[in-house]
Structure 1
Amino acid sequence: MGHTPFGYRIENGTAVIDKPTATKLRQLYKNYLSGMSLSKAAAEAGIPTYHGTAKRLMETAHYLGDDFYPSIIDKDTYQNAQEERIRRATKLGRNNKKTQMREIQIPTHFYMKDGVALHDNPVRQAEYLYSLIESESQ
């Protein structure tokens, strides 16, 4: 079973709109489109959260309605919020950043130090022996 998005609750296996939280969600969109930052728009709407979580709330396509979830946000409001979010991020230079992939080196050569301890408990012995394994890249 997955997570039920903010603004909905499940009754008898069916998603229904949770009116108090859906009202807060609609206010979040309204606040953001009026010019507030994501975190301020959420706080003013009564949703105590951070910037990133407010962004994820506003990107949730379930709010448009689908086979399971009823619509909370109309398509124009949703689309306008996405366009505004992209516009603001572009203006701040956040959409032009190139992420450099770091090369991850996975050790493939190992050696084992000499073991000197002997434990009665097989689990402890296995843990001890495992601790003797080292990568050659160290």
Structure 2
Amino acid sequence: MPHIPYGYKIEKGAAVIDQEASARVKELYRIYLSGLSLSNAAKEAGIKGYHSTIAKMLTNKRYLGDGYYPQIIDKGTFEQAEAERLRRAKMLGRIREGVGKKKSLKKYSFSMEKPEQLYDDPFKQAEYVYSLIESEVIEDGNE
């Protein structure tokens, strides 16, 4: 069975709002938007969870309501929280802008002749065998 988001419960096969928990979710959004960190906002709202769990709550679109889950958070509040989350992440250097087109990796083809000489010294034999390896760069058109 999939995980039921915090703030909901299942009754007779349908998701319904858990009044007490949904009040905490609304409070979490309100306190977070007032300026507290995720962890502190969760503590103030009475929600126990890891930082990543609380962050997922702020980005969970199910709180906006869909065909199965009723709405807990209005769209304006949700969008404000998302904008604030991105603003803070950018301010802390946690968002990396795209550097541009990724360079493709070069592809190589290797071939080797059958060794004809045998040496008693394993290092000499390895040196000889490695010298027989030929490599070729295969052009892939992305360069």
Answer yes or no: same fold by TM over 0.5: yes
Q: Secondary structure at the match of 1:15?
A: strand
The verdict on how the C-alpha distance between 1:52 and 1:97 changes in structure 2, with shifts beyond 3 A counting, is farther
Change over 3 Å in CA distance of 1:97–1:43 after alignment to 2:
farther
Give SS of 2:9's match: strand
**Structure 1 unaligned blocks of 5 or more:** 99-138
- What is the alpha-carbon distance in structure 1 between the residues aligned to residue 15 and residue 48 of structure 2? 23
Residue 18 of structure 1 corresponds to 18
Partner of 1:9: helix, strand, or coil?
strand
- Name 1:72's counterpart in structure 2: 72
How is 1:44-59 mapped onto 2 (pairs within 5 angstroms)? 44-59=44-59
Report what 1:133 is aligned to. Answer: none
Unaligned 5+ segments in structure 2 are 99-143
Task: Give the ranges of 4+ consecutive aligned residues of structure 1 lying more than 2 Å apart after TM superposition.
Answer: none
For 1:1-138, what aligned pairs fall within 5 Å after superposition? 1-96=1-96
Output the CA distance in 1 between the equivalents of 2:52 and 2:67.
27
Which one has the largest radius of gyration?
2
Structure 2 counterpart of 1:44, one-letter code = E
Give me the CA root mean square deviation: 1.2
Q: Please report how far the alpha carbon of residue 81 of structure 1 lies from its aligned counterpart in structure 2 after TM superposition.
A: 0.2
> How far apart are the structure 1 equivalents of 2:7 and 2:82?
19
Cα distance in structure 2, aligned partners of 1:49 and 1:40: 11
How many angstroms does 1:50 deviate by?
A: 2.1
Size of the aligned set, in residue pairs, is 98
- Aligned residues with identical type, % of pairs: 51
> Using the alignment, how far apart are the partners of 2:57 and 2:66 within structure 1?
16
State the Cα distance separating 1:97 from its structure 2 match: 7.4
